[in-house]
């Protein structure tokens, strides 16, 4: 198991705020997180366990991402990949009174570009 560093946390926080791209996040987490988000398969392997406390996700993150997509600042695919990263990475945490709503939105966003097997 590898150590979860302050730099890793900062990269995950920046990605949650859509300040860095998925590819930049991949670069900053090289060696501790491996992921592939493709047509019908989305997987993530974390080699640092679950940090405590986790990187907080709130409804403000969801709203900001939706606004960026609506303004054309990010594509639908980037929005789906962002939501997938938040759902699959155990470093992200949204346990609070809004957790069901956050989980629902992330699931909807994640499914935007997911293609069934065989397509």
Q: Using CA atoms, how far apart are residues 64 and 27, in angstroms rounded to an integer?
A: 24
List the domain boundaries for the chain. Answer: 6-110
The length of the chain is 119
How is residue 115 written in tokens?
């293609």
pTM of the model: 0.88
Helix (H/G/I), strand (E/B), else coil: 53: coil
What is the pLDDT tens value at each position of the chain, 119 positions in all? 678 899 999 999 999 999 999 999 999 999 899 998 876 678 888 888 788 889 999 999 999 999 999 999 999 999 999 999 999 999 999 988 899 999 999 999 988 876 555 54
């Amino acid at each position: 198991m590898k150590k979860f560093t302050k730099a890793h946390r900062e990269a995950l926080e920046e990605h949650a705020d859509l300040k860095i791209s998925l590819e930049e996040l991949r670069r900053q987490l090289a060696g501790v997180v491996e992921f592939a988000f493709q047509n019908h398969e989305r997987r993530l392997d974390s080699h640092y366990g679950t940090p405590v406390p986790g990187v907080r996700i709130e409804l403000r993150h969801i709203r900001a991402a939706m606004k960026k997509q609506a303004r054309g600042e990010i594509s639908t695919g980037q929005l789906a990949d962002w939501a997938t990263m938040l759902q699959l990475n155990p470093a992200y945490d949204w346990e609070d009174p809004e957790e069901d709503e956050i989980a629902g939105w992330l699931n909807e966003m994640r499914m935007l570009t997911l293609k069934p097997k065989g397509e």
